[in-house]
Amino acid sequence: MNHHNKMAVLGSGSWGTALSLVLADNKIEVNLWGHKQEIIDEINERHTNTTYLPNITLPQLIKGYSDLESALTEVNTILLAVPTKAIREIVNIIRNVVNEPVTIIHASKGIEPGTYKRISEMIEEEMPSHLLKDVVVLSGPSHAEEVSLRQPTTVTAASSQLQAAEYVQTLFMNSNFRVYTNLDVIGVELGGSLKNIIALGAGLSDGLGYGDNAKAALMTRGLAEIARLGSEMGANPLTFSGLTGVGDLIVTCTSKHSRNWRAGHLLGQGKSLDDVLSNIGMIVEGVRTTEAVFHLAKKLEVEMPITSAIYEVLFNKKDAKLAVDELMARTGKSESATGF
């Protein structure tokens, strides 16, 4: 049973549209807001969003809005599915429109360069506390392309308030979309954001022509880096063994749908970063997250050799093969020395 029958989803790209479809399947009316008028017109007139989800028909319960104020009318639960770089701007508009406390769910995956903030921290900073009921993060191994085909998917709703996480579980859960709850917001947000760095690395490795051994090494030692930084930042290390840690790492490093893997793959084949990003045409969150985490790791003195290598390839044009050679040539380490 759902507690509410109307929600606003902000962001009409792949993920916002796919999650709107899950909500509509659960008989929730969705006000889907986006800033591109032609996409909103297509959603309302043809019930499709072919730029992001070709061959999918959207349920009638989804209505497109290009005016944010109208999209937020009579809703007390708002889902954000925009790139991390747009979060502060959108929350600032929300705060000027709503009069009652709202629950904000976010489904974005990133860390802000410069401030090193997680998305829930940015939301809490921008939203006055009397207008913010709860913040919940929805994360896990979930490509929009498969969710929109109603293929089995599992995710996690995390909040410091169990009731809020359970509320979001109830909103989204159905026979194709299974939702777990978790109280470890830090671990869930970091797992979902940092796996994108490692997915760029997995794509680079594949693009260079390396095999499954190399990719397994990147994923495993990448997870060790994620857990090392995450523990330092207050996450429960066990969270990284769950859906939002190893689960999302697997799906992003091994799936043809992943924008981050595809970006790494093109880079590994010798394309420039600018060409790669314009070729993909959708948000590749791992690029900005690599920048943020490279500097954060330096500040916290956490060893993250894979992240550093990917940073050098992305931002200092280091040859990707040389970066792999240097990772392999590091001094011998003990796998069990730190637990990671």
Ligand X SMILES: O=P(O)(O)OC[C@H](O)CO
Ligand Y SMILES: NC(=O)c1ccc[n+]([C@@H]2O[C@H](COP(=O)([O-])OP(=O)(O)OC[C@H]3O[C@@H](n4cnc5c(N)ncnc54)[C@H](O)[C@@H]3O)[C@@H](O)[C@H]2O)c1
Residue 10 C-beta: closest distance to ligand Y, Å:
7
Segment lying near ligand Y (by CB under 6 A), choices 56-64, 96-104, 282-290, 307-315: 282-290
141 binds ligand X (CB under 6 A): yes
Q: Which of 35, 150, 178, 318 binds ligand Y (CB under 6 A)?
A: 35
Nearer to ligand Y, 214 or 283 (CB): 283
Q: Which does 13 bind (CB under 5 to 8 A by kind): ligand Y, ligand X, none?
A: ligand Y
Site for ligand X, residues 145 to 184, rule: CB under 6 A: none
Q: Give the HSE-up count for residue 136: Cα atoms under 13 Å, Cβ half-sphere.
A: 30
Sheet holding 153-158, edge to edge: 62-65, 29-33, 6-10, 77-80, 102-106, 132-139, 153-158, 177-182
Residue 36 is assigned to a ligand binding site: yes
Which tokens in the block code for residue 223?
């997870």
Nearer to ligand Y, 107 or 214 (CB): 107
Which tokens in the block code for residue 185?
């917001």
Q: Which residues belong to the active site?
A: 195
Q: How many residues bind ligand Y (CB under 6 A)?
A: 26
Segment lying near ligand Y (by CB under 6 A), choices 77-85, 181-189, 201-209, 268-276: 77-85
Using CA of residue 166, residue 167, residue 170, residue 176, what is the dihedral sign?
Answer: negative
199 binds ligand X (CB under 6 A): yes
Q: Which of 106, 118, 143, 288 binds ligand X (CB under 6 A)?
A: 143
Residue located via tokens 């969705």? 30
Coil vs helix vs strand at 138: strand
> How far apart, in whole angstroms, are the C-alpha atoms of residue 248 and residue 264?
17
Q: In sequence order, what E strands does the chain have?
A: 6-10, 29-33, 62-65, 77-80, 102-106, 132-139, 153-158, 177-182
Does residue 222 contact residue 336 with C-beta atoms inside 8 Å? no
> How far apart, in whole angstroms, are the C-alpha atoms of residue 278 and residue 153?
29
107 binds ligand Y (CB under 6 A): yes
Does residue 74 contact residue 102 with C-beta atoms inside 8 Å? no
Site for ligand Y, residues 132 to 161, rule: CB under 6 A: 142-144
Residue 101 C-beta: closest distance to ligand X, Å:
29
251 binds ligand X (CB under 6 A): yes
Site for ligand X, residues 95 to 124, rule: CB under 6 A: 109
Coil vs helix vs strand at 220: helix
248 binds ligand X (CB under 6 A): yes
Nearer to ligand Y, 102 or 208 (CB): 102
260 binds ligand X (CB under 6 A): yes
Nearer to ligand Y, 64 or 214 (CB): 64
**Burial grade of 61 (CB within 10 A; 0-12, 13-18, 19 or more):** middle
Residue 14 is assigned to a ligand binding site: yes
Q: What share of the chain is helix, strand, coil (3-state, %, to 5)?
A: 55, 15, 35
Residue 35 C-beta: closest distance to ligand X, Å:
19
Non-local CB neighbours of 286 within 8 Å, separated by 6+ positions: 196, 197, 199, 200, 260, 263, 264
15 binds ligand Y (CB under 6 A): yes
Annotated binding site for sn-glycerol 3-phosphate: 109, 140, 142, 195, 248, 258-260
Residues that bind ligand X (CB under 6 A): 109, 141-143, 196, 199, 248, 251-252, 257-260, 285
Residues that bind ligand Y (CB under 6 A): 11-16, 34-36, 52, 81-84, 86, 89, 107-110, 142-144, 282-283, 285
Annotated binding site: 14-15, 35-36, 52, 109, 140, 142, 144, 195, 248, 258-260, 283, 285
